[in-house]
Structure 1
């Protein structure tokens, strides 16, 4: 009986430490501001599949994306504003409302070599569009 209680206690302590680690990581990522909830479609699959909950932040000319349920201190995806060729928005379709945050719109960002799909609030989208347009004139390329 004592062994079972020891195992349960160790599992409970590990779960508490994991929750504390996630909270500390999120606090550390949000320390400089410019952070917002943002899901990312990691795999190009049908609508509603391949999405991961995340957190995005602005760092200079880069938009960094981090998974929520990860202990990694580095971003999973970095998008430089010079890579962005265009942005379109749409409402979630299929199962997408079930796997993204409530009230988010889907943002299809065309990069030079591929399209990346984000899910974010309308307010965060306004911030991303303003960030894209605020690039110094010397860094913008015109086609």
Structure 2
């Protein structure tokens, strides 16, 4: 009877620890894919600074991929293409944002030039500089969108 209690206890411990082990392995896998940094994303535009979700991001080809921190998915939850993303502005976190976001973070607004949707990201000042450099270093002519008034003819 004593060994059955040990087996049940080990199974319960495994069930409790398994999600944490999987989160750790996911983070290691994402880090191994290159250039992962802390980045929060505002999923909802709630008043008072709510709607932020902590996560990590990485540059992959022509995209900035954003992943939720507490998810087991290996696919990015948000994708920002370099050719359609434009930097709008940056600001310091205000109110509840200062508590909810990473320490010393800056809130950056970017706009999708096709859908005109504005998204907010929170990252360290160094990562803001990297984002701006990445957006500005797009190949010449890549910022022209098909069918837009500013595209060359």
TM-score (norm 2): 0.83
1:120 counterpart residue number = 123
What RMSD, in angstroms, separates the aligned Cα atoms of the two structures? 2.1
Contact 2:86 2:135 in 1 (8 A): no
Task: Give the C-alpha shift of residue 6 in structure 1.
Answer: 6.5
Structure-2 residue corresponding to 1:36: 37
5+ long unaligned stretches in structure 1: none
Aligned to 1:78: 79
Partners of 2:142 and 2:32 lie apart in 1 by 28
Query: Can you give the 5+ residue segments of structure 2 that lack an aligned partner in the other structure?
Result: none
**How far did 1:7 drift?**
6.2
State the distance in 2 between where 1:80 and 1:4 align: 54
Whole-angstrom distance in 1 between the partners of 2:108 and 2:64: 14
Query: Greater CA radius of gyration, 1 or 2?
Result: 2
Residue 33 to residue 4, structure 1, CA distance change in 2 (3 Å) = same
Distance apart, 1:34 and its partner CA: 2.1
Once the two structures are TM-superposed, the CA of residue 93 in structure 1 deviates from its matched residue by 0.7
Number of residue pairs the alignment of both structures matches: 143
TM-score by length of 1: 0.89
